[in-house]
Homo-oligomer: A and B are copies of this chain.
């Protein structure tokens, strides 16, 4: 059940039997010479929508498509929220979804650079309750799609060399599977990009001139993408089910 393609009475009815919602969340940012700018929000969207197709009872929110990408801002097309803005926006999403009765809110994340801010946001949200000795009416969970059980090891197996950290062949493969008409090619030099620390945008561009970190996107193929999606979908469904069924302690 994709929220944006449903009517409110449909969601209302669905809430009678499930209290769990999945929010695909990512970033719109450069992904090297050939990766799509939307890669990091499209990957979790692709996986979540595929999961919903397989199990229509899964409730999937619209995709939170702009995240924390300040370090990529020296590359055209990147759009970033400041962490403080990102925190405010996630907070409002949670307030809205909780208002309707969603008690388990699962963020399927597609961007490593989002993790710190999302976790800080969870703490910011919980703090309001922790300061006043109340328990929030919801539980929040963050999961990167590549951390879904089995996915990371699959990616390593598919790309034993040149996977890297940004513009990885695995994420690019996923988008190639879903958007085969938008596959781009380039000569990579060096074939495997350098690695290093991530700081501000100008520092980033100086270290990683074409935007990649440690990766060789030439390894990606739509077929690889389909393999990854095929592994991620059941893993997501199981992970969400476990989260939905988790018994909370008595407080």
Contacts and interface: CB of A to CB of B under 8 A. Distances in A.
Interface string A73-104: 11111111111110111011101110111000
A224 to B, nearest CB: 19
Given A63-B65, A80-B127, A4 B33 contact: no
B135 A202 contact: yes
A62 B41 contact: yes
A70 interface: yes
Interface string A182-199: 101010000000000001
B34 A7 contact: yes
B251 A203 contact: yes
Contact of A87 (B41, B84, B100): B84
Interface string A38-82: 100110000000000000000001111110101101111111111
* Oligomer: number of copies: 6
B70 A8 contact: no
Interface string A1-16: 0011111111110010
Interface stretch (A114-122, A150-158, A231-239): A114-122
A121 B66 contact: no
Contacts of A12: 75-77
A140 B116 CA distance: 16
A85 B79 CA distance: 16
Contacts of A203: 135, 248-249, 251
Interface of A: 3-12, 15, 28, 30-38, 41-42, 61-66, 68, 70-71, 73-85, 87-89, 91-93, 95-97, 99-101, 113, 115-117, 119-124, 126-127, 129-136, 139-140, 179, 182, 184, 186, 199-203, 205-207, 211, 248-251
Given A8-B31, A83-B121, A83-B127, 14 more contacts: A4-B38, A6-B37, A10-B77, A28-B61, A62-B65, A73-B130, A78-B96, A79-B93, A80-B96, A84-B124, A99-B132, A116-B117, A117-B123, A202-B251
